[in-house]
Structure 1
Amino acid sequence: MMLLSGHASARTGLDRRAVRPRNGTGSTDLRTLRGRLLALVCCLAVLMVGLDSTALNVALPDMQHPLHTSVSGMQWVIDVYNLVVAALIILAGSAGDRIGRRRIFCLGLLLFGLGSALCALAATLQILIACRVVQALGGVMIAPVSLSVITHSFTDTAQRSRAIGMWSAAFGTGLAVGPLVGGALVAADSWRSIFWINVPIALSTLVLTRRFVPESRSSEVRRTDVLGQLLVVVLLGALTYAIIEAPRRGWSAPPILTCLAAAAVALVAFAVWERTCPQPLVDLHFFRSVPFTGSAVISVASFAALGGYLFVSTLYLQDVRGMSAFAAGLWMLPMPLMTVACAPVAGRLSGSQGPRLPLVLAGVAMASSGLLMVVCHGQDRAVSLCLAYALFGAGIGLVDVPATALAVAGMPRTRAGTASAITMAACRIGVVLGVAIFGAVLSLGLTHGLHPGPGGRLAFTAAFGQAEGPIWWIVTGCGAAVALLGLCVTGTWARATAHRSAVALDTAPAAGHTRT
């Protein structure tokens, strides 16, 4: 669940250099009013994004009737946002370095606020999905660029670490209280209020940004890999469409086969192009490092489990157990609370013992949660359900920081930020695939609508119970994969490959930059 905050914690210890803002802005002192306001602006922005990330999940069942949608429609509401972020997060960071961090940050806030207002006004599912794209274009700029603003504004190492810690805490708090806030807003008004609440936050943050955040940009930036970026969009978009729509259209339907073929072609073309591009979007030398590749796979597996877990749990609590959105948010609260509580534990364990132990513990916790969900859904035990949520939240809290530390282990310092950004993108890709795959499995298993009449509730509950069984086994498998990879990619041989990859990255032509 800590899609970005854990990465921030990891990056705190990566770059001990003083990074000075450009354009004569000078250093910012966190002890001054201006410094505290700058940190507050960045924290407020990611708090808003964090709230939106988890609040919307509990509103999905309430959106179905007004929008006349099915499981696949709700998948698109969640996935289109994460799809845009996953595809563009690396580009967004480099755009801030090139064009100006404050300028991109302001644009992100404006688009996020505008997209939220449009989502609140959306009359149909198709309009809502389109408006979520606008919101995502803003969201993809806010998190990485706000972190970059902090990193480049506070040149003192201790102050920068403290500011990043505040940023991480704000994002984690938004994630933790999102289900409760979302449930309360739905109970008080409707699902549209979840979007409306973003508008005043975005506008006030925009005003404060214009007043208190200095402009800065890098004197050394990479060229934009336009073709590589387009291929990523085609790959992720076509694959996601095929997975979500296949249960409804059939895997042999021409649109599904066309999308699968397009995804395969885009993947091959991307691999070929990135090998020859002078300054690629993703330098494939990174994947010569077993720890880096393992970190990417761990991030995809763990956050795929997270995306699907939240999606299916929300439907179960409200459509099967008949809870209100607010009650569902209360029931799911152990998950984000344990995520926030375990993230600093993971940081301490990674710092003192390396990434292996927290990764193994994370995998075991997630796998245990999946097994418990099989048991508690079959026997309807409330205590087991809460324990399962807590275990899964602990697993996500434990996995994020060591996965990032593993990704940057042995990398040249000049490439640590890029390695971390790729891991962030892997997390978002995981969420996209998780919602798509888990929703597809659920759709295939259901034979009734998600809102059955009074006479069909028992049949629907039985169908849902059968349909969700494979989902929790997939969660168990994802947890087992995380634990196994934690053991396999942290040994001596793996570290040796990281060293060889670092040498290749240092000498590769792709490492060059363009002065602007």
Structure 2
Amino acid sequence: MAPSPTHRNAVAAVAICLAALMFGLEISSVPAVLPTVEKLLHTGFSGAQWIMNAYTIACTTVLMASGTLADRYGRKRMLLLSVVAFGITSLACGLARDASVLIASRFLQGMSGGAMVICQIAALSHQFQEGPARSRAFAAWGIIFGVGLGFGPMIGSAIAVWLDWTWVFLIQVPLSLVTLALIAWSVDESRDPEARHLDLAGIVSMSLAVFGLTYFITQGPSLGLHHPLVLIALFGATACFAAFLYVEKNHAHPMFDFSVFRIRPFSGALYGSMGMNFSFWPFMIYLPIYFQSVLGYGVVTSGLALLAYTLPTLVIPPLAEKLTVRYQPRAVIPAGLFTIGLGFFVMPLHGLAALLTGCVLAGIGLGMTNTPVSNTTTGSAPTARAGMASGIDMSARLITLAINIALMGFLLIEGILAYLKRAIPGAADASALRDTANQIAAGNLSSYGAPAHDALVQGFHWVMLYGGIGAWVLAAASFVTFGSKPQKTASLSRCATDSGNGA
């Protein structure tokens, strides 16, 4: 007997949620093993940044292309291909024994991960198009994504101690096989009949702009702002972004349909996408260093402490669903961003209790923001352009993430450097002092005495202040963009209803 549509939809939701779990685990478990990878592969602080940035930049490179290809050739087909690629590239990361090989493998893994997350959102949006079923599906997606994000640090820390750091990547291989089988059986195929062209010029120009800006931020301070490579990166990024804007304005079939920015819920939610990744997720890369090097925790204890930061992202989405029903995304998303910023302002206050309280507040804010953002961006665009809408949403997230991983690393080092200049007056060798700051930022304090600990604390305080200000600025931008009144058009009403039902 053929399975009922309800049964197939339930299995499809499980399959897509498993894909979300894989992506969430890959974001949050890897930072927990970075200190181990730094020591074993001798990557240094900059190398550790690039292990993360290679993934996020690669995700950004393929996001819009994946959305367009999914709309054109089929969301299920692209989802299946991306899961296969994610499993293979995860295996390559796990087998890497050299920093450069790992970074290259992470780039390929990021490309497949970016395609996978775009296709899963687009497939979910088509499989569950309206009503309570859509709300439940997006709520489940947000919760399972939160499970991956929330327990990733603890899983990564446990793997680093009891197994081997490579299993952070290898664990994705069997998960990919199970996910692949479930998607093949249950997910409906869908496509946009009007999506016929791939905007290659837009993809290349945007990807080069993000890469150039990230290179400028990460390498500029150490190479010097007048170094030819740094100047090329800066001017190249500017030129590529200008080219991207020109291409998208004049292309007959742009990957960025700028008309969607006139939809207030879409644009307001997009500030939510950027706000989450302006502060919360990039700080995840550095928080294990704080727990281990400032507070002196072991790897496993640090992973457990990180639950204060990530666990609220798992338990808050059901509450966010109820709040969205009552107050709509235009209130919940800015409030979530405000709470993230509040957490960052509380973190540097005196004592461990303040740090953990700030972590919990930031996690609550993310839990309030994440699923309303995803459902509002996809729900406010036409169903046929779900791939494009989710592509813009994830592009905003990952571009902001890649840039702010670099910016937070820059501020961390500059804060340390400022303290060292005060603590070691008359230090003549600026290059050696910066090398020392880089070593301290990586958590290597034992060779530099007591000032190293206080310098690292100051660097983290600079980063926390930056994260709080950024989240609050974007909360204000989101609030103003949404406007004070619900939108009246049919497409916007559907968005408000879907989001209000809790996705």
Q: Which bracket does the TM-score occupy, shorter chain normalised?
A: 0.7 to 0.9
For 1:205 and 1:328, how far apart are their aligned partners in 2?
30
Is the 8 Å Cα contact of residues 28 and 153 (structure 1) preserved in structure 2?
no
1:452 — aligned with what?
444
8 Å contact 2:255–2:388 — kept in the other structure? no
Once structures 1 and 2 are overlaid, which stretch shifts more, 459-468 or 337-346? 337-346
Deviation by residue 1:456-482 (Cα, 9 ceiling, x = unmatched):
353321221122221111012013213
For 2:469, the equivalent position in structure 1 comes to 477
Judging changes above 3 Å, is the alpha-carbon distance between structure 1 residues 27 and 433 closer, same or farther for their aligned structure 2 residues? Answer: farther
2:78 equivalent in structure 1: 104
Alignment equivalent of 1:432, drawn from 402, 406, 411: 402
Within 5 A, what are the aligned runs for 1:349-428? Answer: 349-375=323-349, 379=350, 381-403=351-373, 418-428=388-398
Q: Which runs of 5+ in 2 are unaligned?
A: 417-435, 493-503
Match of 1:128 in 2: 102
Note the alpha carbon deviations across 1:304-357, whole angstroms, 9 max, x for none. Answer: 212332122111112222322221111111222212233333333333223343
Q: Which is worse superposed, 318-327 or 50-59? A: 318-327
How does 1:51-90 map onto structure 2 within 5 Å? 51-90=25-64
Task: Give the AA of the match of 1:282.
Answer: F
Equivalent in the alignment of 1:18: none
Is residue 2:249 matched to residue 1:257? no
Q: Does 1:232 align with 2:232?
A: no
Q: Which moved more, 1:88-97 or 1:323-332?
A: 88-97
**Partner in structure 2 of residue 49 of structure 1:** 23
Conserved 8 A contact 2:293-2:445: no
Q: Is the 8 A contact 1:55 1:179 kept in 2?
A: yes
Q: Would the alpha carbon gap of residues 483 and 274 (structure 1) be closer, same or farther in structure 2, given more than 3 Å must change?
A: closer
CA RMSD of aligned residues (A): 3.0
% of aligned pairs identical? 28
Shift of 1:486: 3.8
The answer for the alignment partner of 2:6 in structure 1 is 30
Contact 2:142 2:370 in 1 (8 A): no
Separation (CA, whole Å) in 2 of partners of 1:370 and 1:208: 40
Deviations 1:151-185 (A, max 9, x none): 44467855454444433332221111111111111
* Structure 1 unaligned regions, length at least 5: 1-25, 503-516
Residue 346 (structure 1) aligns with? 320
Q: Trace 1:150-299 onto structure 2 (pairs within 5 A).
A: 150-153=124-127, 158-213=132-187, 215-288=189-262, 292-299=266-273
Contact 2:279 2:404 in 1 (8 A): yes
Tell me the SS of whatever aligns to 2:348: helix
Residues 29 and 159 (structure 1), Cα distance of their counterparts in 2 relative to 1, 3 Å cut: farther
Greater CA drift, 465-474 or 358-367: 358-367
Distance in 2 of aligned mates of 1:306 and 1:373: 12
The whole-number CA distance in structure 2 between the counterparts of 1:192 and 1:457 is 32
Cα distance change of structure 1 residues 36 and 485 upon mapping to structure 2, 3 Å threshold = closer
Q: Say which of 108, 112, 117 aligns to 1:138.
A: 112
When residues 391 and 156 of structure 1 are mapped into structure 2, their CA distance, relative to the original with a 3 A threshold, is: closer
The two structures have a TM-score, normalised by structure 1, of 0.82
Equivalents in 1 of 2:121, 2:378: separation in Å? 18
- Does the CA contact (< 8 Å) of 1:362 and 1:479 recur in 2? no
Q: Which amino acid aligns with 1:423?
A: D
> Aligned AA for 1:82?
T
Query: Which residue type is aligned with residue 231 of structure 1?
Result: S
- Shift of residue 136 of structure 1? 1.4
C-alpha distance in 2, partners of 1:69/1:127?
A: 11
Rate the CA distance shift 1:180–1:39 in 2: closer, same or farther, 3 A: same
CA contact (8 A) 1:176 1:337 kept: yes
What's the offset of the Cα at 1:56? 0.7
When structure 1 is superposed on structure 2, of 95-104 and 44-53 the one drifting more is: 95-104
1:162-215 CA-partner distances (Å, limit 9, x unpaired): 444433332221111111111111110222111111112112333444455565
Report the Cα distance in structure 2 between the residues aligned to 1:457 and 1:307, rounded to whole angstroms.
31
